[in-house]
Amino acid sequence: LLIKLAYESWLKREELSNGLIGKVCFVLISLIGVGYLYSHFASAVEQQLDNHLFWLSILFVVSNGLLIMWSRTSKLKQLLLCLVIALEMGLNFNQMLKATPFESETRFREDMLEFSNVLEPLYEKDEDLYRVDNAVRGIDNGYNSSFLYNYHSTPYYSSTLNNSLRKTLENLGLNSKNERRISSVGQTEFLDYLFNVRYKIEASKTAGATVVKINETAQTSMGYVVPKELTKVHFVEKDPFGNQNKIAKNLVEDVQKIVVPAELRQEKRNSYQYTAKVDGMAYLYLPNNQMEKVKVYVDNQLITPKVEIRNQALLSLGDLKKGESATISFKSDEEIILDSTSIQILDTTVLNQVKEELSENRLKISEWKDSHIKATVDVKTDDKVLFMSIPYDQNWVVKVDGRKVAPSRILDDFMGIPLTKGSHQVELSFIPQGFLLGAVISLASLIGLGALEILKKRSKAKK
């Protein structure tokens, strides 16, 4: 649109007065000035308009305005104007793109080859429906590696991301930088099992070279038969430890907590010692700090997750045995205050107990495609529900033993299917909203076009 307006103005350049050109230049300079002042004194974004760019922009506006006044009839002067505009556009292009990150084609090709070599044997070995967690920082930080390498996973980066699901995962401790993305950073081993993460892509150094390999975590399932009480569980914002304890408590009758606070003692400013009360992985959660401005060290070793986390993700600190201690320190301009709930341990004993309970009541998938799943499940007692680690969506059609049933929300944003005691065949089909109506309209349009073509040929034949 701007190019069209500029071209039309140039065609009528002889009709434009010097006063009008001067006014336009004055308005442009004023707008640049407003932008400069806003970026320095009012904007929430830290990046400010550079002083050199500010004056350079004004210089080009003034010089272009003068050249337009001066070169209305002279071809040579118009060539000078063309060169100045080309120079301005070139500098602008360079300035805009020099800070834009681009991926390396060589790295992209190497990643494709490396990941394909480890994933293709996995597809042949295990044809079940499961998720894979990529613990290796890859193209786009691994957010959409599952699309690139064709596997199912938790991380996702899209403008159409289900925001309700994103908030639910965030409440469980997963990292979410903004409304467009969710990462698996912060996903505990307990959530791995619950969400059917069966394999992890990991990197290890061998003889100085980095080797990517896949390790199996556990024989997980896309669904588990769970107590009906789990349908009443709702998550509290910024309480991932409490939310995971709620799940575990309602899964296994005699379990109260799956994550337990560590004993905490402050040694000096931004340095604490924590001691494990149980065996397990330690996690840090600091909801009120800007974690992108904080470096975390455990026993002088820098903790570096695969993506930058902010204040809402659980940060894994490493395994500890009961009674073992570690020192956590922070490199930050501000003081980091920890309380008794900031560092908690995922109890390995309770985790194994929960895994065993879920394993005995897991869904067995017999057939699956992108939008269709067939499976079997045994229910030992009444008042049970099948938890599916598939996000709830009203467009899922669920059948149990051939009869259509209405799924419900469970754990805020996942799918729950009511079941009675006995063996059941479960079938799920996904029909996108508007698909049937769209298909009918498309078919009617196709028939209409065909009919018009026939009428057109008959009309020509008569003539």
Q: State how far the alpha carbon of 6 is from the alpha carbons of 13, 18, 31, 90, in Å.
A: 10, 16, 18, 18
Which range of 28-37, 46-55, 275-284 scores highest in mean pLDDT? It is 275-284
Mean pLDDT over 393-420 rounds to 95
Q: Is the pLDDT of residue 388 over 70?
A: yes
Full-model pTM: 0.78
Q: Do 351 and 280 touch, CB atoms closer than 8 A? A: yes
pLDDT at 4: 92
pLDDT at 395: 92
334 vs 105: CA distance, rounded Å: 40
**Measured at the alpha carbon of residue 341, what is the angle toward residues 340 and 345, in degrees to the nearest 5?**
105
Q: Is the pLDDT of residue 207 over 70?
A: no
Rounded to the nearest integer, the mean pLDDT of the chain is 90
Say which residue, 107 or 265, is predicted with more confidence: 265
Mean pLDDT over 376-399 rounds to 94
- In SS3 terms, 384-444 reads as EEEEEEEECCCCEEEEECCEEECCEEECCCEEEEEECCEEEEEEEEECCCCHHHHHHHHHH
At position 19, the amino acid (one-letter code) is: G
Mean pLDDT over 384-394 rounds to 94
Say which residue, 222 or 115, is predicted with more confidence: 222
pLDDT at 386: 97
Residue ranges of domains in the chain:
2-97, 106-225, 237-356
pLDDT at 209: 67
437 vs 7: CA distance, rounded Å: 45
At residue 342 the predicted structure's pLDDT band, cuts being 50, 70 and 90, is very high
Q: Is the pLDDT of residue 48 over 80?
A: no
Provide CB contacts within 8 A for 46, sequence distance 6+: none
Return the percentage of the chain with pLDDT > 70, whole number: 97
Q: Do 247 and 194 touch, CB atoms closer than 8 A? A: yes
Q: Is the pLDDT of residue 46 over 70?
A: no
**Measured at the alpha carbon of residue 392, what is the angle toward residues 163 and 283, in degrees to the nearest 5?**
60
**How is residue 294 written in tokens?**
């904080």
At residue 102 the predicted structure's pLDDT band, cuts being 50, 70 and 90, is confident
Say which residue, 163 or 95, is predicted with more confidence: 163
Q: Is the pLDDT of residue 311 over 80?
A: no
Q: Is the pLDDT of residue 198 over 90?
A: yes
Q: In what order do the strands lie in the sheet with 301-302?
A: 263-268, 271-275, 325-331, 295-298, 301-302
Q: Is the pLDDT of residue 308 over 80?
A: no
Q: Is the pLDDT of residue 222 over 70?
A: yes
409 vs 111: CA distance, rounded Å: 38
Which CATH number applies to 237-356? 2.60.120
**How is residue 227 written in tokens?**
């107590």
Q: Is the pLDDT of residue 140 over 80?
A: no
Q: Is the pLDDT of residue 310 over 90?
A: no
Give φ, ψ of 12 to 5 degrees.
-110, 30
Task: For residue 45, give the DSSP letter.
Answer: S
